[in-house]
Structure 1
Amino acid sequence: MAKPERTPASFRVEIDGQLIKRRAVFSKAVRDLGPWHAVSEDAAASLSARHRRKVVDDSLRLIDDLTNRPLDPLFSDARLTQQKQRSKFSTWFTRIIVFIICIAVGFVGIVFVRQLNTDPRRQVRASLISELQAQNASLKKTTTEVTDLHTKVSRLSDSMPNAGPDSTLTQDEMTNGALAVKGSGIVVTLADPVASGTANGNGPRENNANHIRVVTDSDLQNIVNLLWKAGAEAISVNGYRLGVSTSVRTAGQTILIGVNQVASPYKIEAIGNQKNLSQAMDSDSQPGLYRTLNAAGINPQVSRSYSLRLPAAQATGVTHAKRSK
């Protein structure tokens, strides 16, 4: 009669051979599973007599774990649990919440970036520019009103009874620029060069950031002086009449005729003898001036006109000057 097979002997695992990570609490077999090893009777006898090497070194303990326990206990327990199915409502609700959060974060980021890129100086500069334009418009309007009132006063004075026109007064007013005049003369046109060149002047507009030699107030002053010297009776620059108190100067990077800004091209109109004025502004009469302007790319254009109309110069009050006896 064959002997029934005996169940392999089991023995308790020593402390050094126990698992480092315990079974998870949620495992269904947590009570049935434990750190036990089942071996045969002969192997148990030989194993009890054999001394087990203690693993003290961490590297040897790691090798022992990889060799004897390659599967992590937590992974084994995770496979024992069954994943619950989420409802469609919960899934779509979570997606909508995440989408709203992403939109809010993106909007806040855009606002933050725009605030970082905002230049407060630009707003201040725009405000100052608008204020300056409003002041210039108001000044121009006031100047026009003053000139019109001066013209009306002169007209009313001439229309008074027993007061005939005074030719001397009229001649003086036309010479001083107080009255609008018309007649024949020449037109001198100057424009800033298109191509860049080397600046060799000392004026503030001649040494700008791009090193372009442009038309300066000194150039306009030289031409105006030459025209006065040649016998010009009335001169205007870009429609602004030159009177006894009108200046041609530079303010920053802008040329001013009195208090009015002018820009390229500069149109200088002069009433007088066309022949004398044309000869005075000829390249043969002014070779140095033409040589300097042509070297910078500025080419003066001189043309004759038989009908020029120049407005009256801006009227200014006299406060410090007194009549000399």
Structure 2
Amino acid sequence: MTGQGPRFQPDLLTEMFRNPLDPGYADAAERRASGPPKPAWRLAGARGLRLVVLVAIGLLLAVAYRHVVAGEPESARAHAGLVDEARGAQERTDELQAQADALRQEVAALRAQALGAGSGELRALREQEAATGLAKVVGDGVIVTVSDAPAQVDPTTGKQVTPEGGRVLDVDLQDVANGLWAAGAEAVAVNGQRLTATSTIRTAGGAILVDFRPVTSPYQVTAIGPENMLDSFLKGPSGAQLRGLKAKYGIQFSTSQRDDLTLPAAGTDVPLRYARPDVSPSPTPTGGGR
């Protein structure tokens, strides 16, 4: 049809792109151009004010930088002091543990001398000690190695970080140890720490403790047991759990069968507990009569 206006009127968005500048800005620019020039003192005052503001901001930044730089050596010294203190405590603990092991061996030698080297009582005692973790054992077994997921580069900081969920937890080591026990293990150790009936595997902060001694990745769970122990472990729920952790979080694990493994004795003596019958008198029953 001729003689008619456009069929579609421009919408608000099209009008904004066509005239992006508000007319008020153009009117203000015209007034400034047509008005008298600003006095020199006013221009000088504006420049001076900007200069004062820039100087004040620079001073604030300089003071903040000096405080940060001054505090960094102090925090570094505090961190280094804590590290040295922790290392010293660990060294003292290792020395005490070595003394305890030497005394334990001396007691075992005196006991063997008292009971007789080939006596049946001594053989039975040594078997009980090996079963409870109080004596070292030697035999064929398996090693299950579990380690954190490979570190990745943080795009923000550029540092190597372990991905979320990729760190081995205490419950993972508990599951591995329980799976080996269920597969027929006779003795189990985690990074050289022998497990007993009262052993604990737990987390303290970011570290995993086995009987209150820290262990780090990679974690080696060593077990002595029957020949088919590794197959039973991998086919059981613990093996399936490890495969799931590797597929979902990237946690690495490997298994190997070894001959002539040596598992040390437990680091601490296992407290002996005895069951005793309850000798307290039972309450006299009260019967109601009619």
On whether the aligned pair clears a TM of 0.5, the verdict is yes
The match for 2:135 is 179
Output the aligned Cα RMSD. Answer: 2.9
Mapped contact 2:151–2:162 kept (Cα < 8 A): no
Mapped contact 2:175–2:238 kept (Cα < 8 A): no
Mapped contact 1:215–1:298 kept (Cα < 8 A): yes
Mapped contact 2:180–2:229 kept (Cα < 8 A): no
Relative to 1, partners in 2 of residues 1:248 and 1:113: Cα closer, same or farther, differing over 3 Å? closer
Relative to 1, partners in 2 of residues 1:152 and 1:125: Cα closer, same or farther, differing over 3 Å? same
SS in 2 for 1:305: strand
Which ranges in structure 1 are unaligned for 5 or more consecutive residues?
A: 1-111, 198-207
Mapped contact 1:192–1:264 kept (Cα < 8 A): yes
Mapped contact 1:186–1:278 kept (Cα < 8 A): no
- Asked if residue 262 in structure 1 is aligned to residue 215 in structure 2, the reply is yes
Tell me whether 213-222 or 277-286 shows the greater mean CA deviation.
Answer: 277-286
Mapped contact 1:187–1:268 kept (Cα < 8 A): yes
Partner of residue 188 from structure 2, selected from 235, 256, 262: 235
SS in 2 for 1:256: strand
- Asked if residue 140 in structure 1 is aligned to residue 81 in structure 2, the reply is no
Specify the code of the residue in structure 2 equivalent to 1:134.
Answer: G
Mapped contact 2:151–2:163 kept (Cα < 8 A): no
Mapped contact 2:187–2:195 kept (Cα < 8 A): yes
Whole-Å separation in 1 of the counterparts to 2:234 and 2:184 = 12
Structure 2 length-normalised TM: 0.62
Shift of 1:136: 1.3
The match for 1:324 is 276
Mapped contact 1:189–1:265 kept (Cα < 8 A): yes
Mapped contact 2:208–2:216 kept (Cα < 8 A): yes
Per-residue CA distance 1:246-290 (angstroms, 9 max, x = gap): 221111111111122211111111000131333222478843442
Which ranges in structure 2 are unaligned for 5 or more consecutive residues?
A: 1-65, 154-160, 278-290
Shift of 1:117: 5.5
Larger Rg: 1
- Asked if residue 303 in structure 1 is aligned to residue 259 in structure 2, the reply is no
Aligned residues: 203
The match for 2:12 is none
**Percent identity between the aligned chains?**
29
Mapped contact 2:145–2:254 kept (Cα < 8 A): yes
Per-residue CA distance 1:213-268 (angstroms, 9 max, x = gap): 21111100000001111111111111221123322111111111112221111111
Tell me which stretches of 4 or more aligned residues in structure 1 moved more than 6 Å.
112-115
SS in 1 for 2:87: helix
The match for 2:53 is none
Whole-Å separation in 1 of the counterparts to 2:97 and 2:73 = 37
SS in 1 for 2:228: helix
Shift of 1:298: 1.7
- Asked if residue 151 in structure 1 is aligned to residue 105 in structure 2, the reply is yes
Whole-Å separation in 1 of the counterparts to 2:218 and 2:93 = 23
- Asked if residue 119 in structure 1 is aligned to residue 73 in structure 2, the reply is yes
| Larger RCO (CA within 8 A; separation ≥ 6) | 2
Tell me whether 166-175 or 180-189 shows the greater mean CA deviation.
Answer: 166-175
Mapped contact 1:217–1:249 kept (Cα < 8 A): yes
